Amino acid sequence: MKRLFLFSALAFLALACSTDQKPMNPFLTAYTTPFETPPFHLIKNEHFMPAFEEGMKAQKVEVDSIIADPNAPTFANTVEAFERSGLLLDKVAGVFFGLQGANTNDEIQKIAGDIAPLLAKHKDDINLNEQLFARIKAVHEQRTSLGLNTEQAKLLDDMYKNFVRGGANLPADKKERFRQINEEISILGVKFDENVLASTNGFKLVIDKKEDLEGLPERAVAGAAEAATKAGLEGKWVFTIHKPSMIPFLQYASKRSLRERLLTAYITKGDHNDSLDNKSTITKMASLRSERAKLLGYKTHAHFVEEKNMSKTPEAVYELLNKLWAPALKNAKKERDAMQAMVRQEGGTFQIEPWDWWYYAEKIRKAKYDLDENELRPYFELENVRKGIFEVAGRLYGLQFVERKDIPKYNDEVTVYEVKEKDGSHVGILYTDYFPRSNKQAGAWCGGFRSQERRDGKMVTPLVTNVGNFSRPSGDTPALLSPDEVNTMFHEFGHALHALLSDQTYRTLSVPWDFIELPSQIMENWAFEPEVLALYAKHYKTGEVIPQALVDKIKKSTTFNQGFETVEYLAACYLDMDWHSFAEPKIVDATAFEQASLKKIGLIPEIVVRYRSTYFSHIWGSGSGYDAGYYYYIWAAVLDADAFEAFKEKGLFDQATASAFREHVLAKGATNEAMKQYVAFRGAKPAIEPLLKRRGLL
């Protein structure tokens, strides 16, 4: 699984501000830490709410100052002035929401619930301010005569459209309803997150009979024993529905009934008709989003979302999904039939069920390719993988990563690096946080505490995070990753590069969401290239580089199980789009709606949609940003498969190609239209054939 939390290096923005008020609150004074990084050793939970309040108050004063300016509206005194507002609020939000995802606690969760409606109101107070909008509109009407450069023109156009999309043109009565909708959605999103986290942490599969561990690799058994000890169940074994614990169990545990129990717990998160049930929450959110879109003049919420993306329309999204669905489903059925045949060969009489898929896929992988994931893990020690990723970035872009132990961190498991150019000049800071904790949301994401910008001619460098939930060390054995976890590390690091190498003036310019996944997904291509494996895939005990025989097996198995992986993902894309295609707001039966959506596309019963509605955090979670947009990954996959062809044609580390990708994709940020940036790099629009070929769908 690859879950990407919102690309907050472009959304969570922080900058040190000074004020003589409340000096004991770290947010309300200038940071004195290296590179003005957040002083986590000083920040306490009680600092957040006062700092949020001061941040909102400060931005209101800044907005009032723009409105009160007696001079005619100009790009400088209105558009740039507004773009520069809200720095203190962004400074606080960057830290708070970063901790809410990666290092939360009961107090932070309570603050999140309290602050959500206040932030929604604050945002609406700005977006619905008629005097401010009038000034921005006046500048927008003169845009062709202002002599703006490309980035300035984009800032102006985006700002104007954001105000319109934020309700600025609504009549007074509809503005009030618009406010109510935004407030309610913000509260529901926080509640959804809390329920998913509690549901995930609330389940434990406790095993007290050693025979029930049959088939499991030693590392999985050892990890479960450690988990049991921590839970006060010495002498037993505990498995959870966190992926690093669950997936190995589904792959190797011989006892079918226990696989069923574990997977069922995972796929019923938020769906138990109890206090943690999310069904009513998501149906309300879908209806409210539909109502908001209608207020703004859009046919559906999906139309509202897609307007700002490369796709432009929901119809274009469905068109792409449909092109991929038929060949993917065909492959998945072949994979299922092969598993069913193996069941019969072994004397089984049961029909394949979802909890059997990982187990028999692993058996077939071994039979067909003589490849066992357990053979690979010893070569994927986490620290070596990280060194390999840094080496790839160094060879492509000349970057250096130097650990900094003098920079405060929010958890002892975090490692902090200063990122430098080849000549030693400072680029930014990278925080890595790779292991699961009960106070961390599931999945993997790239976030940040401050994004790059240029202010008053000075470069403000980014503070970026890579957060994951990868396999932990166990006993004397270091963290040994699965191939999927390796892939995810490369993926999130690609996002980090995008944030670190951004070179734009205005911090509020945002990259289209279906373009955001290009820098991350293209990084995945390097992970298992033989030339790259030789850099990092070294046995954790002997230091031996991964044997060529294993490399060959990896290459031969690249299209293995791609029917399953593509189908479970695409099914989630369809489900997301269907939830956000209501022509009229309505409350539906969540279970019946989901079943109808999946039945419509013909999802086979042996495969469960990657995310069922009740724990689909990408589209319902607070601030997640993937509503009507889970398709972003596959849209960007078309781009990344096509883009990587350029590297394959010239060489994995060809400097001219890497320089062009950095210049036109990574550094450009959102300073121009996304497709123009892509064409500037590639010389043409992307073709879909490389993706189909890569996944074995041609």
Specify whether the CB–CB gap between 334 and 521 falls below 8 A: no
Among the listed residues 54, 335, 492, 517, the single catalytic one is 492
Position 20 pLDDT exceeds 70: no
pLDDT category, 687, cuts 50, 70, 90? confident
Residue 165: how many CA atoms within 13 Å on its side-chain side?
14
Nearest Cα neighbor of 408 from 426, 386, 431, 424 is 431
The CA angle 74-78-81, to the nearest 5 degrees, is 125
Judged against a pLDDT cut of 80, whether residue 157 lies above it is answered with yes
pLDDT score at 457: 87
Question: What's the CA gap between 329 and 677, in Å, rounded?
Answer: 33
Split at pLDDT 50, 70, 90, the class of 694 is confident
In this prediction, residue 624 carries a pLDDT of 80
Instruction: Over range 608-636, report the average pLDDT.
Output: 94
Q: What is the pLDDT of residues 403-414, one digit of tens each?
A: 999 999 999 999
Q: Residue 209: which pLDDT band, with cuts at 50, 70 and 90?
A: very high
What are the tokens at 85?
Answer: 């507002």
Q: Please state the rounded mean pLDDT for residues 285-294.
A: 98
What is the mean pLDDT of the segment spanning 18-42? Answer: 84
Asked if residue 527 has pLDDT above 70, the reply is yes
Q: What is the mean pLDDT of residues 576-584?
A: 97
Strand partners, 430: 417, 464
- Is 183 a residue of the active site? no
693 has a pLDDT exceeding 70? yes
- For residue 696, the model assigns a pLDDT of 82
What CA–CA distance (Å, rounded) separates 297 from 165?
10
Q: 22 or 444: which carries more pLDDT confidence? A: 444
558 versus 69: which is more confidently predicted? 69
442-477 pLDDT, tens per residue?
889 999 999 999 998 899 999 999 999 999 998 899
Confidence (pLDDT) at 23: 58
Of residues 66 and 698, which shows the higher confidence score?
Answer: 66
pLDDT confidence of 571, banded at 50, 70, 90?
Answer: very high
Over residues 238-248, mean pLDDT: 96
**CA gap 151, 397 in Å, rounded:** 24
- Rounded mean pLDDT of the chain? 94
Q: Is 621 helix (H, G, I), strand (E, B) or coil?
A: coil
Tokens of 252: 């190797």
Q: pLDDT at position 623, please?
A: 74
Q: What is the per-residue pLDDT for 274?
A: 97
DSSP codes joined into one string, 548-577: HHHHHHHHHTTTTTHHHHHHHHHHHHHHHH
pTM of the model: 0.90
Kindly report, as residue ranges, where domains of CATH 1.10.1370.40 are found in the chain. Answer: 27-187
Q: Residues 165-174: what's their mean pLDDT?
A: 95
Q: Which residue has 């509206």 as its token pair?
A: 73
Round to whole Å and give the CA distance between 216 and 251. 8
Confidence of residue 351 (pLDDT cuts 50, 70, 90): very high
pLDDT above 90 coverage of the chain, percent: 91
- Model confidence at 625, pLDDT cuts 50, 70, 90, reads confident
pLDDT surpassing 70 at residue 7 = no
pLDDT at 622: 86
Instruction: Give the N- to C-terminal CA distance of the chain in Å, as an integer.
Output: 24
Between strands 463-467 and 426-433, the pairing is: parallel
Alpha-carbon distance of 542 to 442, in angstroms, equals: 33
9, 558, 605 from 336: Cα distances, Å: 40, 18, 10
CATH 1.10.1370.40 is held by the domain 27-187: yes
Give yes or no for residue 8 having a pLDDT over 70: no
Confidence (pLDDT) at 330: 96
**pLDDT tens digits for range 39-58:** 999 999 999 999 999 999 99
Residue 19 scores a pLDDT above 50: no
pLDDT of the residue at 697: 79
Q: What is the pLDDT of residue 9?
A: 34
The pLDDT of residue 2 is above 90: no
Q: Cβ(103)–Cβ(40) under 8 Å? A: no
Among 7-11, 187-191, 288-292, 365-369, whose mean pLDDT is lowest?
7-11
pLDDT 10s digits, 656-685? 999 999 999 999 988 989 999 999 999 999
Cβ count within 10 A of residue 504: 22
Q: Say if CB 427 and CB 404 are below 8 A apart.
A: no
Q: Are 415 and 408 in contact (CB under 8 A)?
A: no
